[in-house]
Structure 1
Amino acid sequence: MSGTGSTATRADPPAEPAYAHGTGTTALLGDTIGRNLDRAIAAHPERDALVDVPSGRRWTYAGFGRDVDRLARGLAAHGVHKGDRVGIWAVNCPEWVLVQYATARLGAIMVNINPAYRLHELEFVLNQSGIEVLVASTEYRSSDYRAMAAEVRGACPGLREVVHIGDPEWDELVSGGGGLPADYLAVQEASLSCDEPINIQYTSGTTGFPKGATLSHHNILNNGYFVGDTVGYSEQDRVCLPVPFYHCFGMVMGNLGITSHAACIVIPAPAFDPAATLRAVQQERCTSLYGVPTMFIAELGLPDFASYDLGSLRTGIMAGSPCPAEVMKRVMAEMHMAEVSICYGMTETSPVSTQTRRDDDLEHRTETVGRVLPHIEVKVVDPSSGITVPRGTPGELCTRGYSVMLGYWDEPRRTAEAVDAGRWMHTGDLAVMRDDGYVAVVGRIKDMIIRGGENVYPREIEEFLYAHPKISDVQVVGVPDERYGEEILACVIPRDPADPPTLAEVAEFCAGRLAHYKVPRHLRVLAAFPMTVSGKVRKIELREEFSARP
């Protein structure tokens, strides 16, 4: 049939799906962590590998390698073999880093334990993962690790040894491998596969006990390497790490991202201290600084902030929770971190899936969490159907690739709930993939507020309120409302406690600039937010506390 005179029209092309895969010219590393460390030692034996500012101790790569090997031999002499679980329950210190690399040498599985854990949490992790040897701090602030470890031992039949850092048994452990054959570690390492489990990290669940994300050499070594590669690390870089080592931010994006580029790890303090962090940057001429947004806010808020010489900084990473655009802009302008990067991820994905690039403009580096890293896939799906949505449409962000965990330790059912048959990890985060492939996270599925049938994303309101002159920090949550189902509560920390914002001032600030249904109807002025040790705000506590009386 001739088309002449036909009234048929060509259908519009289908919308671009919210899917992207990371390409690059650099291949994945096929190393184990130990073999990768050997490459850095061979290439740069005399460069600084690790500096502990509080104690003044320093290691070159050659010296760090020797101490890692001594500890690995000591662990082996104490009966630790490939696949055995070794717990590390400590604040940030050089020994934490030594344990990380020594267990990797042996193929033992290091289990990260949150230093904030108390007895019932510690007992659960020790038993659930089957830890045989526990390396722990002695005490820090209100935590008496020695007393707590002694108390739970009777309830943990698999735990056969506890070694406290700094006690005589630590020295015995380190020196205990002298009787092993000279080639013991080389023989052990030759038997290791990069796909074997090397690390268990417990995710901080909001209800019930946490799950142990089990990660391989391949998972975390590659993720650390590509995060470091994206910010341009080389052996010239010195990276200040005030973030906790027990979390992926510290030990993967930090330690492994640093040593895989033969750069230097700088420990500013056992736990986050804003002044100690800036002193370490100044003293060690650090080129990179890590932190969650609340850490950068605390550093910028120091009364003597302007007195620190931060001119050596060029880059860094802000991650762990949504990064406010206003804070990011100040970090770039006032901390000299022009190349600072935002990373997005989760423990189960080793952790980073998307990251901003060094040459991204300000808008991309403040309004998105970047684009997918090399060798990783991301997509945004309808949470109810699992179908990939068009770009520009909110949905659940999913990740697939080398970075997806092996599974939750000894919990196949919970693994199957998180990782589908196609090996996609479902993050639980609501996101939008833009036309250019960059991703904006708009909240958690469980945090989304449904007000009178309208979907409200707290992140959008938070970003807007960060620009209020009286607000230093803000968290938005939904609270029950008889008429609308949920109403919007803004919890704020004022810039000046003596002059906090009022609800009327917040409403006036929003008027005509936010849709009426997004304007907070309740306000709470707080001195601080409830936080996890890794610096994430516990929104569930805010909701629970204020649901009955917003």
Structure 2
Amino acid sequence: MSSKTTYALFKLGAVLVPLNPAFNSKQVIAALVHLSASHLIIGAETSLPYKAPRENVTLLSQIVPDLAGSKCESPAVPSLCNVILVDNSSSRVDVRSLSATTPFADLLSSSRGDQSVVPDSILDPDDIVNIQFTSGTTSMPKAASLTHRSILNNGFFIGERMGLTPSDVVCCPPPLFHCFGCILGYMATATHGTAILFPSEAFNPEATLLSIQEEEATALYGVATMFVAELELLQNGMISNTGFDKLRTGIAAGSSVPSTLMEKLHSTLNLTGLTICYGMTETSPVSFMTTPDDPIQKRLDTVGRLLPHVEAKVIDESDHTRILPIGEKGELMVSGYLVMTGYWGDDAKTQEVRKIEKGADGTKKIWMHTGDEACMDEDGYVKITGRIKDLIIRGGENIHPLEVENILFAHEHIAEASVVGLPDEKYGECVAAFIVVHRGVLVGKDDAGNGLPAETINSSGSKCLTAKEAKEWVRNRLSSHLVPKYVFWVEDYPKTASGKIQKFKLKEEGMRLLGLVQQ
């Protein structure tokens, strides 16, 4: 970012609040009202993964009804006094009549390039610098308040654990509005003098692979769904499997990564030093991370060990005062500089997840509930066994979706698998698997009646998979109570804009397919 741009943004005098571009107008308005926002910086259009760019004039007209007026007035967001418009549409969107907005170019030209950036008051390391909305995989997004201290140090220690140097080139497909892009990406590289490569405005697997080849990237970032899309292009021969020899490390984060996927990334993309990060927006975000030198089994089965200056404990889910012994499963909690100051304007939700522990000497320690079930071994490596909210309780037994997903993902015809719990009269809940097959694989009828008839499948001579075969694949490798009662074929999953699967929406879709809710 140029000094002029920095100064222009600094003049706004506001905390940075990156908004998910997938938000609709109601969500954007709700976020702006919640934050009492005075300025909105937005592009004329927004790029989204796998879709054509979306124009933003329609969205803006919901916020500022008279975009052609002489000034910015918003009945929906009374605090809003300025909309700064970035004309990024290559003339696809006509912005000439939007006089109620301020062109970003004007903001730049009005700044004095020789004027140093000096804040109105002395900055404090514990000042809030970033209000980061959570991904919303299990509920509505919440506004986590992060400080200078938390995001700067977190980015530095991430880069340290990866072993980043000024000679590295990091390819970063995850978006900048998400902690993955702005902290694991930008802050980790900026604190180590490392080059960072953004292959496209929104995730594009082809652009990602081509940029690695062209720029000789040494590291690759991504969530599981991104890596799957990239491997699919290589497997189908749509991108030549050459030019990846400089890759050595990277980060897989955002959600649990199946061990079979990790093995493919090691063998196909040369990512033998790939690291795993675990965290959450509320912890700035990373608390646990592997190293490129960790034993391969630790990098496949765990999320590594604590970053410096961070503490953790595993507690009994039914008695939060009891810390569990090594090897026992419970809720993971973390503490340290990285814990958010709270959810902006929501003390009640803050108190639900952020607990203050008072020591005998009067000192206070703040602990963050992660909502994840985990266990820790004697060497400090942590294994995430599932989201507590995602646990399937079948006849009193806890089932961890990741365990079933790992087995399904290992099938040669299955590209992706996501498992949720659905209501069951006999057991309370049962296992349901939503499966994406590889390109060119034919599928038989699933439990919603979608797919080809058995006679067509049997006579096709092509690669094929039936729901029964998927269930038997699990039955032959896991206990019978883990076998999916239902299998549904899908082409894709409902995801956040950062690529995480929204399991609550899958559960809603499963109930709809079974006729448990109205269409």
TM-score of the two chains, using structure 2 as the length reference: 0.84
Judging changes above 3 Å, is the alpha-carbon distance between structure 1 residues 500 and 402 closer, same or farther for their aligned structure 2 residues?
farther
Judging changes above 3 Å, is the alpha-carbon distance between structure 1 residues 76 and 445 closer, same or farther for their aligned structure 2 residues?
closer
In 1: Cα distance, 2:406 partner to 2:262 partner: 11
Q: CA deviation at 1:216?
A: 0.5
Q: Hey, what does 1:542 align to over in structure 2?
A: 506
Q: Residue 143 in 1 paired to residue 74 in 2? A: no
Deviations 1:201-229 (Å, cap 9, x if unpaired)? 11133576421100001111111111111
Q: Hey, what does 2:329 align to over in structure 1?
A: 394
Corresponding residue to 2:300 among 345, 349, 366: 366
Q: Residue 288 in 1 paired to residue 227 in 2? A: no
Q: CA deviation at 1:530?
A: 1.3
Corresponding residue to 1:433 among 369, 376, 381: 376
Judging changes above 3 Å, is the alpha-carbon distance between structure 1 residues 481 and 149 closer, same or farther for their aligned structure 2 residues?
same
Q: CA deviation at 1:311?
A: 1.4
- How is 1:69-148 mapped onto 2 (pairs within 5 angstroms)? 69-77=3-11, 80-81=12-13, 84=14, 109-140=15-46, 141-148=52-59
In 2: Cα distance, 1:266 partner to 1:346 partner: 23
In 2: Cα distance, 1:540 partner to 1:255 partner: 30
Q: Residue 202 in 1 paired to residue 108 in 2? A: no
Q: Residue 488 in 1 paired to residue 399 in 2? A: no
Q: CA deviation at 1:424?
A: 0.7
Deviates more, 1:398-407 or 1:202-211: 202-211
- How is 1:100-249 mapped onto 2 (pairs within 5 angstroms)? 109-140=15-46, 141-153=52-64, 154=74, 155-166=76-87, 169-178=103-112, 184-185=116-117, 187-188=118-119, 191-205=122-136, 209-249=140-180
Aligned residues of 2:146 and 2:340 also touching (Cα < 8 A):
yes
Corresponding residue to 1:471 among 411, 414, 418: 414
Q: Hey, what does 1:250 align to over in structure 2?
A: 181
Aligned residues of 1:500 and 1:525 also touching (Cα < 8 A):
no
In 1: Cα distance, 2:130 partner to 2:502 partner: 25
Which AA in structure 1 matches 2:467? L
In 1: Cα distance, 2:109 partner to 2:39 partner: 16
In 2: Cα distance, 1:133 partner to 1:548 partner: 41
Aligned residues of 1:494 and 1:500 also touching (Cα < 8 A):
no
Aligned residues of 2:138 and 2:503 also touching (Cα < 8 A):
no
Deviations 1:13-61 (Å, cap 9, x if unpaired)? xxxxxxxxxxxxxxxxxxxxxxxxxxxxxxxxxxxxxxxxxxxxxxxxx
Q: Hey, what does 1:49 align to over in structure 2?
A: none
Aligned residues of 1:137 and 1:146 also touching (Cα < 8 A):
no
Aligned residues of 1:146 and 1:164 also touching (Cα < 8 A):
no
Q: Residue 319 in 1 paired to residue 253 in 2? A: yes
Q: Hey, what does 1:348 align to over in structure 2?
A: 282
What secondary structure, in the 3-state scheme, does the structure 1 residue paired with 2:104 have? helix
In 1: Cα distance, 2:224 partner to 2:137 partner: 21
Q: CA deviation at 1:346?
A: 0.4
- Number of aligned pairs? 453
Corresponding residue to 1:529 among 486, 489, 493: 493
In 2: Cα distance, 1:491 partner to 1:353 partner: 30
Deviations 1:316-370 (Å, cap 9, x if unpaired)? 1011111011111111111111111010100000000111111112211111111
Q: CA deviation at 1:161?
A: 1.0
Q: CA deviation at 1:453?
A: 1.1
In 2: Cα distance, 1:265 partner to 1:436 partner: 33
TM-score of the two chains, using structure 1 as the length reference: 0.79
Q: Hey, what does 2:389 align to over in structure 1?
A: 446
Q: CA deviation at 1:190?
A: 7.6
Give the percent of matched residue pairs that are identical in Structure 1 and Structure 2: 40
Corresponding residue to 2:264 among 330, 333, 339: 330
Q: Residue 421 in 1 paired to residue 362 in 2? A: no
In 2: Cα distance, 1:191 partner to 1:463 partner: 51
Judging changes above 3 Å, is the alpha-carbon distance between structure 1 residues 240 and 512 closer, same or farther for their aligned structure 2 residues?
closer
In 1: Cα distance, 2:305 partner to 2:251 partner: 15
In 2: Cα distance, 1:475 partner to 1:349 partner: 26
Aligned residues of 1:316 and 1:339 also touching (Cα < 8 A):
yes
Q: Hey, what does 1:497 align to over in structure 2?
A: 441
In 2: Cα distance, 1:206 partner to 1:301 partner: 24
Consecutive unaligned residues of structure 2, counting only runs of 5 or more, are 47-51, 65-73, 88-94, 96-101, 358-365, 443-462, 515-519
| Larger relative contact order, structure 1 or 2 (CA cutoff 8 Å, min sep 6) | 1
Q: CA deviation at 1:515?
A: 1.3
Q: CA deviation at 1:76?
A: 4.9
Q: CA deviation at 1:111?
A: 0.3
Q: Hey, what does 2:210 align to over in structure 1?
A: 279
Which AA in structure 2 matches 1:480? P
Q: CA deviation at 1:417?
A: 0.8
CA RMSD of aligned residues (A): 1.8
Deviates more, 1:255-264 or 1:154-163: 154-163
Aligned residues of 1:111 and 1:201 also touching (Cα < 8 A):
yes
In 2: Cα distance, 1:208 partner to 1:544 partner: 13
Deviations 1:220-249 (Å, cap 9, x if unpaired)? 111111111101011111111111110000
Q: CA deviation at 1:461?
A: 1.1
Q: CA deviation at 1:538?
A: 1.1
Q: CA deviation at 1:512?
A: 4.5
Deviations 1:444-481 (Å, cap 9, x if unpaired)? 11111111111111111111221122211111111111
In 2: Cα distance, 1:432 partner to 1:326 partner: 21
In 2: Cα distance, 1:538 partner to 1:76 partner: 35
What secondary structure, in the 3-state scheme, does the structure 2 residue paired with 1:272 have? coil
In 1: Cα distance, 2:139 partner to 2:416 partner: 29
Which AA in structure 2 matches 1:531? K
Aligned residues of 1:502 and 1:523 also touching (Cα < 8 A):
no
Q: CA deviation at 1:549?
A: 4.2
Aligned residues of 1:76 and 1:177 also touching (Cα < 8 A):
no
